[in-house]
Amino acid sequence: MGRIEHEGQPVIELENVAYSYGGGELLSDISLTLQPGSFHFLTGPSGAGKTTLLKLCYGALIPTAGYVRLFATDVRNMERDDIAMVRRRVGVVHQDCQFLDHMTVADNIALPLMVSGRDMLGEMANLKELVSWVGLTERADAMPPELSGGERQRAALARAVIMSPDVILADEPTGNVDWEMSQRLMRLLVELNRMGKTIMIATHDLALIRATKAQVQARVLRISNRRLQLAGADL
């Protein structure tokens, strides 16, 4: 397939990428360019390789063939510390959220600030504002296991954006929440996109994609038979 592009300088670029695991090829000949401010949906059946493709996009996996460039640097030329620095520019929301259960919700949201050595006192106002933005002010001192599915997703989203990253990658962010909460989460992501953030969301919820496309100009990509293609006009 041809290169899927968006105008401007790419923040993430995949060129003829393949990824194999356990002797089988999961992804083949993937080329994708994410430009600043773009909004992408990544869809496809379960097991198609959506999560694998997202992991390639933030350096959690190294391609077995082809090139992945994160902010213009080939991921193969990056040391682990370089990957860590990239992660500060790419906010990731996992379906299972992945929190530190011994720390409060507010601490988990502030975790990227802690690991980057920011002055926490100086960031308190921003943290409070962000917690309020995702509607978790009342739950800030709760522990992650006490949160509902929707609250966990919102907390994960807050954690992903607290460093004001250039890119937000979300893997089935609405997988465990009801329709109303899905809509609320998508509104937050659309709002972030309007602030100039590049967004890519892996989901198999076509209704959600249609609803979101009414609010924002988004491209829908589909993984099919290990390859990436633009989705049809029906989406």
Minimum distance, C-beta of residue 6 to another protein, in the bound complex (Å) = 25
Q: What is the DSSP letter of 182?
A: H
147 binds another protein (CB under 8 A): no
75 binds another protein (CB under 8 A): no
Residue 198 pairs in a beta bridge with: 167
Q: Determine the Cα–Cα distance for residues 123 and 177; give it in Å rounded to an integer.
A: 30
- Which listed residue (98, 137, 148, 217) binds another protein by CB under 8 A? 98
Which two three-digit tokens encode residue 134? 């995702």
Tokens representing residue 73 in the block: 């640097």
Establish if 72 lies at the interface with another protein (CB under 8 A): no
CA–CA separation, 203 and 41 (whole Å): 7
DSSP labels, 145-164: GGS-HHHHHHHHHHHHHTT-
- 3-class SS of residue 29: strand
Considering only the stretches 42-50, 64-72, 87-95, 216-224, report the one whose residues sit in contact with another protein under the rule CB under 8 A: 87-95
Stretch that binds another protein, among 27-35, 76-84, 193-201, 215-223 (CB under 8 A): 76-84
Structure tokens at 85: 């620095």
State the minimum distance, in angstroms, from the CB of residue 60 to another protein.
8
Q: Which stretch binds another protein (CB under 8 A): 20-28, 95-103, 176-184, 224-232?
A: 95-103
Strands (E), 22-159: 24-34, 39-43, 65-70, 73-74, 90-93
Question: What Rg do the C-alpha atoms of the chain give, in angstroms?
Answer: 17
Q: By CB under 8 A, which span of 39-47, 77-85, 176-184, 223-231 interacts with another protein?
A: 77-85
Number of residues that bind another protein (CB under 8 A): 26
Cβ closer to another protein: 59 or 219? 59
Query: Minimal distance in Å, beta carbon 226 to another protein?
Result: 25
- Give the separation between CA 43 and CA 128, rounded to whole angstroms: 34
Residue with smaller CB distance to another protein, 168 or 228: 168
Closest CA to 221 of 42, 5, 17, 30: 42
* By the rule CB under 8 A, 99 interacts with another protein: yes
Within residues 155-174, the interface with another protein by CB under 8 A covers 159, 163
Binding site for another protein (CB under 8 A): 79-81, 84-88, 92, 94, 98-103, 107, 111-112, 114-117, 120, 159, 163
